[in-house]
């Protein structure tokens, strides 16, 4: 059970706050409410950053870049290690802040905070291993050095589903590379980002290197995209807003876009059925399906289709749904707002109207605990077709559609029948099937016989309408560098 007093003290300290040039201050702009999605209670208000405050934050980041980019990598690495230590030491408090604004159960939120700490340590180590290259020349007496230089000021614009990690990957990679950053977190989950800024201050990260501006995407986010001193936009969010950013960015600048998905899972006749069901239940329903790599649709070989459906239905029914602050170990908490809940309901109604069969869930859990929050039971629908929204659009809720298939080529064609290309999953034990699936699935991430596509030291990114660029791994760090070719005539060997 959480400690109400310390949580409300933590949130009170962040009311109306902006973090600019190493200082917290009260924003001058209009206030926006932040709600607890499990109860509907207003937790507090944030300030919508004004044009003047945006200017001050970008200018602070711009000035800080000159010194931060020249710091020894070891110095930047030490700062990141300190940040990681401070975050893990306060993980429970930060997790409760996240649960209060986002809804996921505290234990799950704490896991996310600890993964942010891990990202700090990972990028601290990577910071000291940024190597250039000496490349062969076309004439004697020349040497070509390919060096990596930090891009400059980064604007990080992030969604509400993973309020710590999605800020953190951009923050850690920026700090490691020598970039400075202005973070604009989602309107629903600003307090987690401000709590991260508190840790940056405690870690002694120099003023201006990290800044946090709260407010609406269409105003504060858009102003950052358009700012001439912002050299890179690192965006995670919906495909629609990502495309809008690409279209409206008025200068040439680096963009990385981590966007939406509509992720498939294929279960072949050779699969370990119980493992596949366990994976499907985890990746369809964790964080109420509000994850860009959630399994949206499952194709199951006809020979095991009835068994798979009954086991997945039972697994969904066994998951607990609760207020995540009161029940830290619940499987699912509240959904983050009415919007994803309404979309999930619309996808469910559409599927049922077009002939899908309800296997589990389909409604809110019953009882007073759920009366004022955005709750939904994990839901499975069967006999789905690609005419249904659940099979063709990103649901972003605790709903998964299932369909049978007869041969693997058909399953792969169905899995790839989408404008998205973020993550895909497959369960199979036959080696030929495994190779056919890993080669044939047109996705940036393919997880086979597991459902955890993202690990810290491998690149994570989408293709097609799921985005451009990578986070995680060495590739994620390279997104924050320009390459410079220095061609030097030394005359030796002429």
What is the spatial order of strands in the sheet that 481-489 belongs to?
Answer: 133-135, 142-150, 481-489
Task: For ligand NAD, give the closer residue by CB, 404 or 421.
Answer: 421
DSSP state string for 96-154: HHHHHHH---HHHHHHHHHHHHHHHHHHHHHHTT---EEE--SSTTEEEEEEEEE--EE
- Minimum gap (Å) between residue 464 Cβ and ligand NAD: 12
Measured CA to CA in angstroms, residue 313 lies from 23, 300, 309, 317 at distances of 51, 14, 6, 6
* Mode of pairing for the β-strands spanning 467-468 and 254-258: antiparallel
Residues in the chain: 494
Q: Which stretch binds ligand NAD (CB under 6 A): 130-138, 161-169, 366-374, 474-482?
A: 161-169
Distance CA 428, CA 273 (A): 9
Distance CA 116, CA 87 (A): 8
Task: For ligand NAD, give the closer residue by CB, 65 or 420.
Answer: 420
Q: Of 56, 258, 393, 394, which residue is the catalytic one?
A: 258
Q: Is 467 in the site for ligand NAD (CB under 6 A)?
A: yes
Q: Is 469 in the site for ligand NAD (CB under 6 A)?
A: no
Site residues for ligand NAD, 255-274, by CB under 6 A, read: 258-261
Site residues for ligand NAD, 269-308, by CB under 6 A, read: 292
Q: Of 101, 292, 433, 479, which residue is the catalytic one?
A: 292
Taken in order 228, 232, 233, 239, the sign of the CA dihedral is: positive
Q: Which stretch binds ligand NAD (CB under 6 A): 37-45, 175-183, 219-227, 379-387?
A: 219-227
Task: For ligand NAD, give the closer residue by CB, 278 or 345.
Answer: 345
Q: Is 191 in the site for ligand NAD (CB under 6 A)?
A: no
Q: Is 237 in the site for ligand NAD (CB under 6 A)?
A: yes
Task: For ligand NAD, give the closer residue by CB, 112 or 258.
Answer: 258
Q: Is 246 in the site for ligand NAD (CB under 6 A)?
A: no
Which residue lies nearest ligand NAD, judged by its C-beta? 217
Count of residues touching ligand NAD (by CB under 6 A): 32
Phi, psi angles (nearest 5°) of residue 483: -95, 140
Which of 29, 103, 217, 404 contacts ligand NAD by CB under 6 A? 217
Q: Which of 125-152 are b and which e, b meaning 16 or more Cβ less than 10 Å from the residue's Cβ?
A: ebbeebeeeeeeeeeeebeeeeebebbb
Known catalytic residue at 288: no
Which of 36, 50, 93, 161 contacts ligand NAD by CB under 6 A? 161
Site residues for ligand NAD, 90-149, by CB under 6 A, read: none
Known catalytic residue at 394: no
Which of 122, 160, 299, 427 contacts ligand NAD by CB under 6 A? 160
Q: Residue 111's CB: how many other CB atoms inside 10 A?
A: 15
Site residues for ligand NAD, 393-432, by CB under 6 A, read: 394, 396, 422
Q: Is 184 in the site for ligand NAD (CB under 6 A)?
A: yes
The pair of structure tokens assigned to 121 is: 């340590």
Q: Is 186 in the site for ligand NAD (CB under 6 A)?
A: yes
Are 97 and 191 in contact by the 8 Å Cβ rule? The answer is yes
Local structure of 464: helix, strand or coil:
strand
Distance CA 147, CA 232 (A): 19
Across 151-267, where does the E strand assignment appear?
153-157, 180-184, 210-212, 230-236, 254-258, 263-267
Catalytic residues: 258, 292
Binding site for ligand NAD (CB under 6 A): 157-162, 166, 184, 186-187, 217-218, 221-222, 225, 236-238, 241, 244-245, 258-261, 292, 394, 396, 422, 462, 466-467
């Amino acid at each position: 059970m959480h400690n109400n007093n310390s949580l409300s003290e933590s949130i009170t300290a962040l009311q109306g706050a902006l973090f600019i040039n190493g200082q917290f201050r009260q924003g001058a702009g209009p206030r926006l409410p932040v709600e607890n999605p499990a109860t509907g209670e207003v937790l507090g208000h944030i300030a919508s950053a004004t044009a003047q405050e945006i200017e001050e934050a970008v200018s602070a980041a711009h000035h800080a870049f000159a010194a931060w980019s020249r710091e020894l990598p070891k110095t930047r690495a030490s700062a990141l290690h300190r940040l990681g230590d401070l975050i893990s030491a306060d993980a429970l408090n930060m997790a409760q802040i996240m649960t209060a604004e986002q809804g996921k159960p505290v234990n799950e939120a704490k896991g996310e905070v600890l993964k942010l700490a891990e990202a700090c340590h990972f990028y601290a180590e990577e910071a000291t291993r940024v190597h250039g290259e000496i490349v062969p020349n076309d004439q004697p007496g020349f040497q070509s050095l390919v060096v990596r230089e930090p891009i400059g000021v980064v604007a990080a614009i992030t969604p509400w589903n993973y309020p710590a990690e999605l800020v953190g990957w951009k923050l850690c990679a920026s700090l490691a590379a020598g970039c400075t950053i202005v973070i604009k977190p989602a309107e629903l989950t600003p307090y987690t980002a401000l709590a991260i800024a508190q840790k940056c201050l405690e870690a002694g990260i120099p003023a201006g290197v990290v800044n946090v501006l709260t407010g609406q995407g269409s105003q504060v986010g858009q102003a950052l995209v358009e700012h001439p001193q912002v050299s890179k936009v690192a965006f995670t969010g919906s495909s629609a807003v990502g495309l809008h950013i690409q279209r409206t960015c008025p200068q040439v600048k680096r963009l990385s876009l981590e966007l939406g998905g509509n992720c498939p899972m294929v279960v072949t006749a050779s699969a370990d059925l119980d493992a596949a069901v366990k994976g499907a239940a985890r990746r369809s329903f964790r964080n109420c399906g509000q994850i860009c790599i959630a399994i949206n649709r499952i194709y199951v070989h006809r020979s095991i289709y009835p068994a798979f459906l009954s086991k997945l239905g039972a697994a969904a029914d066994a998951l607990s749904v609760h207020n995540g602050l009161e029940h830290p170990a619940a499987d699912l908490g509240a959904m983050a707002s009415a919007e994803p809940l309404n979309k999930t309901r619309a996808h469910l109604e559409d599927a049922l109207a077009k002939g899908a069969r309800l296997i589990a869930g389909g409604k809110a859990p019953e009882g007073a605990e759920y009366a004022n929050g955005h709750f939904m039971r994990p839901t499975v629908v069967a006999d789905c077709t690609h005419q249904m929204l659940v099979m063709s659009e990103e649901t972003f809720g605790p709903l998964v559609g299932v369909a049978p298939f007869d041969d693997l080529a058909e399953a792969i064609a169905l899995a790839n029948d989408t404008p998205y290309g973020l993550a895909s999953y497959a369960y199979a034990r036959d080696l030929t099937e495994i190779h056919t699936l890993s080669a044939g699935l047109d996705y940036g991430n393919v997880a086979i016989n597991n459902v955890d596509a993202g690990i810290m030291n491998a690149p994570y990114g989408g293709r097609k309408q799921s985005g451009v660029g990578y986070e995680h791994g060495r590739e994620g760090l390279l997104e924050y560098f320009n390459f410079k070719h220095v061609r030097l005539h030394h005359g030796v060997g002429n």
